[in-house]
Amino acid sequence: MEITTSEEVHLLAIFDSLSDLASLQEIVYQHLAGRNDEERFGIQAIVNENGEVEGINDKLLIGATDLPLNDLLNSVHELNGLAIAAHIDRESFSVLSQLGFIDESINFDALEVTPLTGLKQARVKYRELDKYSFIMSSDAHYLKDIGSAVTKIMLEEPTFAELKMAFARQNGRHVLE
């Protein structure tokens, strides 16, 4: 799930359990004001993996929540999720563009960059963030864009627990840069 904080920082939240994800969704909905104006913003279709529309979401999903970044991070971690700072190399809606830096107290599990920067260049550009694992992904807003950028990660098996270890650089698991 990608969420916009009250500071207009985009945060990615990944979960192993749909029930934990649903719990975060409820928290987000409690802190998300407004209804979608279909004439201005278009229809917000709920689409399955086959591209079939299963419903319409009338929440104003383009809007920011009133959740501060630290509160949202705490909620994600309390629900056993991973919190990733989205597209830190973008000029808008990134933790760096909105806050100017990443405070030591902000406990991200990883940082995401776009393909425009890439993982190798990110390590050079953001040397001060070397304690974090970086990932690169597509920031897909359309089905056709999913998977257009990928991150290779050294895991023993494709599980959430292994991903968590890789982000923490534990037991030989790590992001391949």
**Nearest residue to 12 (alpha-carbon basis) of 79, 67, 73:** 73
pTM of the model: 0.91
CATH 3.20.20.140 fits 2-16+68-175, yes or no: yes
pLDDT tens-digit readout, 111-170: 999 999 999 999 999 999 999 999 999 877 777 888 889 899 999 999 999 999 999 999
Q: Is residue 97 helix, strand or coil?
A: helix
Q: Which of 1, 175, 173 is closest to 82 using CA atoms? A: 1
